[in-house]
Amino acid sequence: MTARKAFSPVRPKSVRAQITDHVRAQVTGGTLAPGDKLPSTQELARTWNTHVATVHAALTPLVKEGLISRTRKRGTIVERPEARLERVGVYLPSKLLSGGDGVFVRSVCVHLESVMRTRGGAVDMWVDPRPHSARATCWKELREAARRRAVHAVVAPRTDRRTHPWLSALPVPTAFISGDARPRCVSFDMRQFARAGVAELARAGCRSIGMISVLSHTRPDSVPGGTAMLRAFRERAADLGIETRPDWIKTPGRGQVAESDAEGFGYDSMRSVLGGRSRPRGLLVFTDVAARGALMAAAESGAAGAGELSLVLHRNAEVGLFCPYPASYLDVSASAVADALVDLLARQMRGEDAANVMMAYRVSRSRKGTRK
């Protein structure tokens, strides 16, 4: 059939990418009609003089785009050529729906629903009821919904090393919020966060600064961003001639502070910084939950109220953060993250490159206590 003909690989483009483009063009151009069945992967590999694994990898993106379906009994079947992004499934572990954890994630979900409504689509919440230990295996209900195109794409605002492999293997476009260099991710530029924070403290006249962060820098393999943030913080401070000391920098010893523990970590860290032999004139605090605890300790000491301490605080723009003192903020927007996630999905549906998106933090300032 046509999918086996008129194909001759050329360099330097990879054979896999050329096969993907070739079959996509056959489907979208109408040469292969809905319902047509492609030869087996082994036969296509022989025809195209390549490896079976290469053919398999080349056809996988077309499954995610909805152009073909692949099942063990039916084989590879051509589907409708038009890409659809009408219903997005959002995968969430059940614990994010209760307590103080996941405030930002829930805000992103609200904005995802708004973005999809403007596109004439909808969002389905898929809350995984399984215990954490069981989430290393694929959730069959979600995989089946993706296979049947009951959902056309899946967003996972919170993943870990257990869930990410099978989520990324679902037969539909996927997008994630993540701090590490995984494909199809929206992540946050922690180097830019640190540089912008130091610059704000310098603008406030601080010649000595410290940092409180829930990200560890001792294990960069498990806590992406922590090492980059600390290095950028120190480098920018040195560039501006600002003093910083190890006892003014508070990070967890290993791993990352859980969101449920971040407020207490911020409180204890601020007390430690302010109770030392010497104090910095300015502090950069990450995250907003840790900032709440840090502000409690600052209020007890009276340092911030007396103008002895300048603050630059991480903040979720739509959630807000109450601070009774003049402060600068480094804002990240849940609505901007939702837009970026949907854009990643749409690009995959169109067969375009879905490179990772790095979100920058925006500086804002207040002259008095404010929530926004």
CATH of domain 87-187+337-359: 3.40.50.2300
Helical packing angle, 288-301 and 259-274, nearest 10°: 30
CATH topology of domain 2-78: Arc Repressor Mutant, subunit A (1.10.10)
Instruction: Quote helix, strand, coil % in the chain, to nearest 5.
Output: 40, 20, 40
The per-residue pLDDT for 53 is 93
CATH topology of domain 189-333+361-366: Rossmann fold (3.40.50)
The per-residue pLDDT for 370 is 43
What is the location of CATH 3.40.50.2300 in the chain?
87-187+337-359, 189-333+361-366
The per-residue pLDDT for 100 is 52
The per-residue pLDDT for 13 is 76
The per-residue pLDDT for 270 is 97
- How many Å apart are CA 303 and CA 297, to the nearest integer? 9
Cβ pair 215, 223 in contact under 8 A = yes
The per-residue pLDDT for 191 is 95
| Residues in the chain with pLDDT values less than 50 | 1, 99, 220-223, 369-372
Model-wide pTM > 0.75:
yes
Which runs of E-coded beta strand occur in the chain?
68-71, 75-78, 87-93, 122-128, 153-156, 174-177, 185-188, 209-213, 249-250, 282-286, 310-316, 327-332, 357-359, 362-366
